[in-house]
Structure 1
Amino acid sequence: MKVKINGYGQRPEEAEAMQEQVQQRDTVDDIVDQWARARPEIDSGPMALIGRLRRLNLHVDSALREYFTQHGLDTSEFDVLATLRRAGEPYELNARALLKSAMVTSGAITNRVDRLSAKGLVERHPCPGDRRAVLVRLTPEGKELVDTLLLGHVRNEERLLAPLDQGERTQLDALLKKLLVAHGDVERL
C-alpha cells in the first residue's frame, strides 16, 4: 500500500492535524486583528512573525531559567560553563573567546566568571603567552556539573520542540538560519 505524502513530507493525517493546530488562535492573532482595525492599510504579516518569535523566546527563556535555577545557576552561567566544556580539554578559554561566544559586554562576562568562580565552578589563570590576558578554566566540579545538567537541558529543549515533527524542525531550523545569516550572524567561534 502506498502512503500519500504532501509537499512537506507529511502524511495527510499529519498535515490535517497541523492545519488544525495552525487554525487555533494565539495572542498574536488578537494583536494583528487590532492593527487590522486600527491601521488596515498596513501589512501586519511582519508584526505577526516577529511577535511570535518574541513571545516564543519568552516561553523558551522561562523554561530554561526554571531548569537552571533548580540547580543553582542562571542561564548565562550555564552558557559560560557549556562554552568552556565544548572547547575541549583543558576546558579553558580566554575572556575574548568567551565574550565572542556569549555576545555580551566584557563587563557581563566578568560578572558571570566572578559568580562562577565564587561557586567553585571556574578558576582564572594567567595566560602563559600574554601577561595581560587571563584564561578561564572549568574546575573538576564545574565540568561535573555541566556534564550532569547537559542531558536534562537537552530533554527540556526536546520538550519545548515536541509539538513539531522532525520535518518541521528541519524546516524551521533552515528558515531561522537563513534569517540569521541574512542579518550577518556568520562570525565563526
Structure 2
Amino acid sequence: MAELKQTASELIDSLVLIHKSSWFRRILNGHKKNDLMLMLHLRRQEDLGEQDMRVSDISALLNVTSPTVTQMLNPMEKKRYLDRYVDPKDRRVIRVKLTPAGREVTDETVLVIVKHLNQLVEYLGEADSLQLAQLMRKISDYSDEMNSILAMNDQTGDEKEC
C-alpha cells in the first residue's frame, strides 16, 4: 500500500509540473483558454459541415448555463471573433458562428499546437509519444468510468467509493 501512495505522489508531482509549464500558455497566445476552446469547437463544427452552433448546444458542451455562455460570447463578439444571430426557423434559438477573424485565430492556434506536438514527438521519440498517447487515453477512459459510477451512485443514493 505504501508503494501505491508513493506512485500516486509521483503522479501528482508530474501533473503539477505539467500544469506549471508554460507550454499551454504559449498555445493560448494571449487568449483565454475557454475562448479558444469554444472557437476551436465552432471551427470543428464548421469542418464537419455545420456553419454554426446553438447557444444551448455550447452550454451542454461546456457544461455551463446558457447565461454563462452569453457572458463568454460577449467579449469574443466585441473582438469580432464570432457572430450571434437569431435562428430564422426558430426565433427562440440563438446561433453562433465564427467570423473570418475567429477562423484566423483558430488557424493560428492549430498551427502552434501542431508545432509544439511535433517538437514533443521529436523530444520523446516515436515509441514514448505513442505510449504517452495510449496512457492519456486510458486516463480518459478511467475518468469516464468513474464519472459513470458516480452518476449511477447519485441516482441510486449509494455511497460507494471510487
For the criterion TM > 0.5, the same-fold answer is yes
How many Å apart are 1:144 and its aligned residue? 2.6
The answer as to whether partners of 2:85 and 2:96 remain within 8 angstroms in 1 is yes
State which structure, 1 or 2, has the greater radius of gyration over its C-alpha atoms.
1
The aligned counterpart of 2:14 is 52
Contact 1:83 1:101 in 2 (8 A): no
Structure 1 runs not aligned, ≥5 long: 1-39
Match of 1:113 in 2: 73
Q: CA deviation at 1:107?
A: 4.8
Task: For 2:60 and 2:96, locate their aligned partners in 1 and report how far apart those are by CA, in whole Å.
Answer: 14
Query: Paired residue for 2:138?
Result: 178
TM-score (normalizing by structure 2)? 0.71
Two-structure CA RMSD over aligned residues (Å): 2.9
* Residue 97 (1) aligns with residue 57 (2): yes
Aligned to 1:82: 40
Greater per-residue helix proportion: 2
Work out whether residues 80 and 112 of structure 1, in 8 Å CA contact, stay in contact via their aligned partners in 2.
no
Q: Gapped runs of 5+ residues in structure 2?
A: 149-162
Aligned residues: 144
Alpha-carbon distance between aligned partners in 2 of 1:120 and 1:126, rounded to the nearest angstrom:
17
* Counterpart code for 2:101: E
Aligned equivalents of 2:35, 2:120: Cα separation in 1: 21
Give me the whole-angstrom Cα distance separating, in 2, the residues matched to 1:104 and 1:157.
29
Task: Kindly indicate whether the alpha-carbon contact (under 8 Å) linking 1:64 and 1:156 is maintained by their aligned counterparts in 2.
Answer: no
Q: How does 1:53-72 map to 2 (within 5 A)?
A: 53-59=15-21, 62-69=22-29, 72=30
**Partner SS for 1:136:** strand
Separation (CA, whole Å) in 2 of partners of 1:90 and 1:173: 29
Closer, same or farther in 2 for the Cα pair 1:114/1:45, shift >3 Å? Answer: same
Q: Would you identify which runs of 4 or more consecutive aligned residues in structure 1 move more than 4 Å?
A: 103-108
Asked if 1 retains the 8 angstrom alpha-carbon contact of 2:52 and 2:96, the reply is: yes
Percent identical pairs in the alignment equals 24
Q: Could you tell me how far 1:124 is from its partner in structure 2?
A: 0.6
Q: Could you say if the C-alpha distance between residues 85 and 163 of structure 1 is closer, same or farther in structure 2, counting changes exceeding 3 Å?
A: same
Q: 1:118 Cα deviation (Å)?
A: 0.6
Structural mapping, 1:10-49, within 5 Å: 43-49=5-11
Whether the aligned pair in 2 keeps the contact of 1:120 and 1:139 (CA below 8 Å) is: yes
Cα 1:95–1:162 shift into 2, 3 Å:
farther
Q: Deviations over 1:37-88 (max 9, x none)?
A: xxx79832112113212321331xx32323433xx52222221111111112
